[in-house]
Chains A and B, each alone.
Chain A
Amino acid sequence: MISKWVRSFTAAAAVLAAGVAGAQSRFNLQEPQSIIARQIYDLHTLIMWIIVVIFVVVFGAMTWAIIKHRKSVGHKAEQFHENTTVEIIWTIIPFFILIGMAYPATKTVIAMKDASSPDLTIKVTGYQWFWGYDYLQGEGEGVSFFSRLATPREQIENRAPKGDNYLMEVDNPVVVPVGKKVRIITTANDVIHSWFVPALGVKQDAIPGFVRDTWFKVDNPGTYRGQCAELCGKDHAFMPIVVEAVAPEKYAQWIAGQKKKMAAQADDPARSWTLDELKTRGEKVYAANCVACHQANGMGLPGTFPALSGSKVVNGPKEGQINTVLNGVVRDGKPTAMVAFGKQLSDTDIAAVITFTRNNWANKTGQAVTPADVKALRK
């Protein structure tokens, strides 16, 4: 009964709001694309209208007083004060309005929390500053990849015109089937991040050492974009989230493609690498993982991120540097901004990036670090 009233009220409100602000409004929440997002949207609309009504009544009275009860129009002050009846009324009425708001909100809270029996479970890991996705259960189990900002530096630094999806585009989007319940499990590698896709009504903090969950079911195929919502350091603004919802058949194709790609990416451990091959590959790994802190010129940012060019570690024994990259830097028992890359990168990638840093900028060791060296030091 109440929900029916709410629905017709919000429908009327939506029509009104659309009339005021044009269709897909820039002045409102994004067009909802999941059942939870729609409930949130309707709740917000309902509350907005309650607020508008209260606003008009209360500030109508205030405006009336300001216009009519001023000294300059000759109004004499009446000295009334304290009226228990009035005071009880204006305490009780808001209370009932609040109950009217709490009822639909409670239903949505309970629905949001029900992440049980999903069709698909994806673990989302927040890293400084990108996302990792592991398909844990359901169709596509075993698929795993990282998702990084795809906007080129030139656009951010205003050296190139900005594209349509500036800062909202990634190299590997998360692909999900429409109409299937997707459970998202969040965690983080370093600091707290937050996985936020407005159109799906999902925002869940990703907390290092802890696991949290949320869920969504996408109504329509499409690309839905969001961003990290919890301050996580320097590049907090540069770790977007892109969810691509596709028809189930297309999803199956994508999974097959991913599995093939993953198999191809696995390097032949027996292969031998030349110094130049490693450097070329290392440069790419560096650009993807290291450049944000240590900078393209290898000079880091003084005081925060140390320089690699001329660094004692980089020019010292290779075991020291391999250990640093594999296990990160731990100071006083705490992980620092130099996180452990052992889990994120393959032996070959680590060998390549180390070789690159040892033979670039002011560093001229002439030494190649092989995947076997890295493997030997993995614990």
Chain B
Amino acid sequence: MDAAHVHNGHGAHGHRNTGLMRWVTTTNHKDIGTLYLVFSLTMFFIGGLLALGIRAELFQPGLQFWQPEFFNQLTTMHGLIMVFGAIMPAFVGFANWQIPMMIGAPDMAFARMNNWSFWLLPPAALLLVASFFVPGGATAAGWTLYAPLSTQMGPGMDLAIFALHIMGASSIMGSINIITTILNMRAPGMTLMKMPLFVWTWLITAYLLIAVMPVLAGAITMLLTDRHFGTNFFNAAGGGDPVLFQHIFWFFGHPEVYIMILPGFGIVSQIVPTFSRKPLFGYSSMVYATASIAILSFIVWAHHMFTVGMPAATQLFFMYATMLIAVPTGVKVFNWIATMWKGSLTFETPMLFACGFIFVFSIGGFTGLVLAITPVDIQLQDTYYVVAHFHYVLVAGSLFALFAGAYYWLPKWTGHLYDERLGKWHFWLSMIFFNVTFFPMHFAGLAGMPRRVPDYALQFADFNMISSIGAFGFGLAQLIFVYAIVKCVRGGEKAKDKTWEGAEGLEWQVPSPAPYHTWETPPVIR
């Protein structure tokens, strides 16, 4: 997505470095957006490779490729890399590229901090990947890093802790930047309730990030001092409580899942009206639904912990609160469908991914409702049902939304139309193989197959084989995405300023490709 280099020719702002130093020193929101997106795509493939390692081992019962210890490293690092290295930075990349263009601002509020918050990420990623090569290998405690298992781990655990600290700092800086930009730099006349929904969802997400990233930092710092400095936060023998870690982790962890999905809601809410040629059905109810989801996300964390044993009253509270989330989420889905209703629909790749998102994400939402019911959750907790559930919301949710957004705005970023045929292939193969991979996991989980196991009983063999085949298909299909991007960056049919017939919004009023500096004179919104 090396988009901006095509403008190197126009020298109106000639103070830029060239070559590598341009990217190291850049303070331009578009350059930094590109950096974020390239970074996250790279991490997506590293994390994907680990996933294929997992699925290769699980293709058949018995140990074929890895020893159990290494298998646990694979599942742990797959989770950490995908969450912190792929999904979150990808959304920040979208925010960088789009928010200033969509609100009519010339750049992000804190341009230098923006540079810094990106350049923190590669060292953090390096720490994560390098942890595979230290004695004892990477952390194998699961991405949730539950104590006291994580206090048993080798130095790979420390590297992961430092990586998370750095990535957390990066996220917090990014959020401060996004909030300040949105609150202070909107074009005259753009009231909050006139902002594009993508901007709204990011504003709310940024607040979530600021609220919970320090909580994660606290949890892993306590872990670090427990490991090395003689504290006993999570060590029962020293008066600590292992369950405390889970409470703190999930107080971060549940808002975190909304951090990874709300901007996706925003992207889909931009795309569906465009290709329906019809305004979003309920703009304000979408904003309120997003805010409700964000607020509720702070009072549901213990639904990840129903099996640790808690009083009936506590279980009931968290069950009711969790079920409530279905209401605003339902409002969102109904809104998208009402937007499509009686529209004039076309199905270019962004719309395909958006419809795929609504359809498959809703399945993840439904299984979320199943899991909200405490007794059923106790049966399904830590089984493959949960693995299926969160991949339905994270892959078919967040990732499909990211794909949709990428195809939607690529013409604006590169100035070229992407290859529609490639895009459609990418969508259909992703959609089919995604379901082949993850749908059978529901059945394996219902039958009682625990997650995070390198080997399993024979009755789970068929489902696992199907999943593994699907996973390799899904992985290969992603190469089409890379090819489509590269092809689009290098050339292709010239994109119009307003690429899509039904598109609304300020980003479609600037030229395609978007010049290095946009909205130096803010537009006036009536």
Binding site for B on A (CB under 8 A): 26-30, 36-37, 39-40, 43-44, 47-48, 51, 54-55, 58-59, 61-62, 65-66, 69-72, 75-83, 86-87, 90-91, 94-95, 98, 101-102, 105-106, 108-110, 112-113, 155-158, 162, 164-168, 186, 190-192, 194, 196, 198, 201, 203-205, 207-210, 212-214, 225-238, 301-304, 332-337
Given contacts A81-B281, A229-B450, 7 further A-B contacts (CB under 8 A): A40-B378, A55-B366, A98-B324, A98-B327, A210-B236, A233-B140, A336-B152
**B135 contacts A by Cβ under 8 Å:** yes
Contacts of B230 in A (CB 8 A): 332-333
Are B136 and A192 in touch, CB under 8 angstroms?
no
With both chains docked as a complex, state the minimum distance between the C-beta of A306 and any C-beta of chain B, in angstroms: 11
Within 8 A of A (CB), among B297-334: 307-309, 311-312, 315-316, 319-320, 323-324, 326-327, 330-331, 333-334
**Contact A69/B343 with A101-B373, A155-B62, A304-B136 known, Cβ cut-off 8 Å:** yes
Bound state CA distance, A82 and B339, in angstroms?
A: 10
**Contact A66/B345 with A26-B443, A192-B148 known, Cβ cut-off 8 Å:** yes
With both chains docked as a complex, state the minimum distance between the C-beta of A94 and any C-beta of chain B, in angstroms: 5
**B476 contacts A by Cβ under 8 Å:** no
Bound state CA distance, A44 and B379, in angstroms?
A: 10
Contacts of A83 in B (CB 8 A): 281-282
Interface string of B274-299 (1 = CB under 8 A from A): 00111111111100000000000000
With both chains docked as a complex, state the minimum distance between the C-beta of A208 and any C-beta of chain B, in angstroms: 5
Are A234 and B62 in touch, CB under 8 angstroms?
no
Are B242 and A47 in touch, CB under 8 angstroms?
no
Q: Which of B8-16, B32-40, B111-119, B355-363 contacts A (4 or more CB under 8 A)?
A: B355-363
Bound state CA distance, A105 and B323, in angstroms?
A: 11
**B53 contacts A by Cβ under 8 Å:** no
Bound state CA distance, A254 and B458, in angstroms?
A: 30
With both chains docked as a complex, state the minimum distance between the C-beta of B114 and any C-beta of chain A, in angstroms: 35
With both chains docked as a complex, state the minimum distance between the C-beta of B447 and any C-beta of chain A, in angstroms: 6
Are A198 and B375 in touch, CB under 8 angstroms?
no
Among A186, A226, A231, contact of B149 (Cβ-Cβ < 8 Å): A231
Bound state CA distance, A207 and B247, in angstroms?
A: 14
Contacts across chains A and B counted by CB atoms under 8 Å: 304
Bound state CA distance, A320 and B405, in angstroms?
A: 63
Are B237 and A335 in touch, CB under 8 angstroms?
yes
- Residue from A59, A78, A231 having most chain B Cβ neighbours under 10 A: A231
Bound state CA distance, A55 and B333, in angstroms?
A: 11
Are B331 and A337 in touch, CB under 8 angstroms?
no
Among A69, A90, A167, contact of B457 (Cβ-Cβ < 8 Å): A167
**Contact A43/B281 with A231-B72, A303-B137 known, Cβ cut-off 8 Å:** no
**B122 contacts A by Cβ under 8 Å:** no
**B142 contacts A by Cβ under 8 Å:** yes
Bound state CA distance, A255 and B238, in angstroms?
A: 37
Q: Which of B63-71, B180-188, B394-402 contacts A (4 or more CB under 8 A)?
A: B63-71
**B432 contacts A by Cβ under 8 Å:** no
For this complex, 29 residue pairs linking A to B, each with C-beta atoms less than 8 Å apart, are: A29-B446, A29-B447, A40-B378, A44-B373, A54-B366, A55-B362, A70-B344, A80-B342, A82-B282, A87-B331, A94-B327, A98-B327, A105-B375, A108-B374, A109-B316, A156-B62, A158-B64, A194-B382, A198-B447, A205-B307, A225-B457, A230-B146, A231-B72, A231-B452, A233-B140, A233-B149, A332-B230, A333-B232, A333-B235
Identity of the chain A residue whose Cβ is nearest the Cβ of B459 in the assembled complex: A26
Identity of the chain A residue whose Cβ is nearest the Cβ of B237 in the assembled complex: A209
Are B282 and A98 in touch, CB under 8 angstroms?
no
Among A27, A48, A106, A162, contact of B62 (Cβ-Cβ < 8 Å): A162
Are B375 and A112 in touch, CB under 8 angstroms?
yes
Among B64, B279, B281, B344, contact of A76 (Cβ-Cβ < 8 Å): B344
Contacts of B450 in A (CB 8 A): 196, 227-229, 236-237
Bound state CA distance, A18 and B73, in angstroms?
A: 40
Bound state CA distance, A207 and B154, in angstroms?
A: 22
**B226 contacts A by Cβ under 8 Å:** yes
Which 8 A/B pairs are nearest by Cβ-Cβ distance? Answer: A209-B236, A303-B135, A212-B309, A237-B453, A198-B448, A303-B136, A77-B344, A77-B277
Interface string of B124-165 (1 = CB under 8 A from A): 000000000011110011100010110110100000000000
Contacts of B148 in A (CB 8 A): 190-192, 208, 334-335
Among A157, A196, A212, contact of B63 (Cβ-Cβ < 8 Å): A157
Are B456 and A77 in touch, CB under 8 angstroms?
no
